[in-house]
Amino acid sequence: MKDKILRKFAEVFGDAEGAKVYFAPGRVNLIGEHTDYNGGHVFPCALTIGTYGVARKRKDNRLLFYSTNFEQLGVLESSLEDLVPSREADWTNYPKGVIWAFGEKGMKVSGGMDLLLSGNIPNGSGLSSSASVEVLTGFILRDLFGFEVSNQDLALIGQYSENQFNKVNCGIMDQFAIAMGKKDNAIFLDTADLSYEYAPIALQGAKIVIACSNKKRGLGDSKYNERRSECETALSELQQAVKVRTLGELDEETFEKYQAAIGSDVRRKRAKHAVYENQRTVRAVEALKANDVAEFGRLMNASHVSLRDDYEVTGIELDTLVEEAWKVEGVIGSRMTGAGFGGCTVSIVKDEAIDTFIETVGAAYKEKIGYAADFYVVEIGDGPRVL
């Protein structure tokens, strides 16, 4: 891969002298969905698939971007004087946003660069190709310009750029999972204070299988921001009745006691999901630590039901993938992952059942939805690095 993209860089930018090669992973969330902006817990892991980047500094202030995933766009040019989002800038709004965010945080990038990206995360799949690009860009800036910034800060800067520059109100999960990724471990993160712990994922005879619905979605045009504000309103209604800072601070019992303070059924369902999902996540990690993978799987299934019925972010594509998965013997757990409304599901499937799983779920999906899903047996990988 390294030689291949160095050659591509030379083809696009004339030569590859002084260019360095980098990688940042994608991520999948095992459980804890739509809890990260509610002060709850999440349990994602970095993948071995992700975004490769080749970069070098320039002597002027120009920023030249090229992606093998969007070859038809050719080289997209910007400059350090032009760090504003625009429609024409297309995917380069992500690296531009991070360069801008570094400046906002007192780390002004002092010169231009040539940057070539090449990702093997399916675009728009919900495996965080955009957060991968953000963390990768931050990692490259740190390396090229010598900024002193921790990986955790790279995650926060990535999120800041996505919120402020690209106007998607995402939480911290994706950037954190990518910047802090550790091979064979998932990250049990408390988004209330960013305390975290690595949990080894030893699935004893089973693997993580991702099914991509191929229904494209972008967070910006989805109902993501709407869900977020429904939760915020529900929280402020609850605060009239109980002293609480986030939905993540509530357990099920306390929620049930005060839920009548929420002024609409829809908002009550949204808040219920946030509270119960957070508790499920805590319990799922306990189950995993106790080697109870079956219980972990049951909690994954319950997570999907809650996302389908209470949070209403699934849709026929994700529901079909998950409900068909549940029918297959050897499936320990299956749920949608990421923001929802399309994107992917994550399943834990026993080794001997993987072929049948892909075959039968794939066929049922095609039959019902009319186009094919893609399946990936994935491995948990490390965070960003120089190659």
| Residue from 122, 171, 297, 342 binding ligand GLA (CB under 6 A) | 171
Smallest gap from Cβ 206 to ligand GLA, in A, equals 23
Residue 277 lies near ligand GLA (rule: CB under 6 A): no
Task: Determine if 46 is a binding residue for ligand GLA (CB under 6 A).
Answer: no
Does residue 127 interact with ligand GLA by CB under 6 A?
Answer: no
Is 174 in the active site? yes
Q: Which of 16, 19, 31, 34 binds ligand GLA (CB under 6 A)?
A: 34
Does position 339 interact with ligand GLA (CB under 6 A)? The reply is yes
What is the 3-class SS of the chain, one letter each residue? CHHHHHHHHHHHHCCCCCCEEEEEEEEEECCCCCCCCCCCEECEEEEEEEEEEEEEECCCCEEEEEEHHHHHHCCEEEECCCCCCCCCCHHHHHHHHHHHHHHHCCCCCCCCEEEEEEECCCCCCCCCHHHHHHHHHHHHHHHHHCCCCCHHHHHHHHHHHHHHCCCCCCCCHHHHHHHCCECCEEEEEECCCCEEEEEECCCCCEEEEEEECCCCCCHHHCCHHHHHHHHHHHHHHHCCCCCCCCHHHCCHHHHHHHHHHCCCHHHHHHHHHHHHHHHHHHHHHHHHHCCCHHHHHHHHHHHHHHHHHCCCCCCHHHHHHHHHHHHCCCEEEEEEECCCCCCEEEEEEEHHHHHHHHHHHHHHHHHHHCCCCEEEEECECCCCEEC
Q: Does 331 sit near ligand GLA (CB under 6 A)?
A: no
Task: Verify binding: residue 44, ligand GLA, rule CB under 6 A.
Answer: no
> Could you say whether residue 230 binds ligand GLA (CB under 6 A)?
no
Binding region for ligand GLA (CB under 6 A) out of 51-59, 171-179, 242-250, 259-267: 171-179
The interface region with ligand GLA, picked from 18-26, 166-174, 193-201, 359-367 by CB under 6 A, is 166-174
User: Is residue 139 involved in binding ligand GLA (CB under 6 A)?
Assistant: no
Q: Which is nearer to ligand GLA, 25 or 338 (CB)?
A: 338
Catalytic residues: 174
Q: Which residues bind ligand GLA (CB under 6 A)?
A: 33-34, 36-37, 170-171, 173-174, 338-339
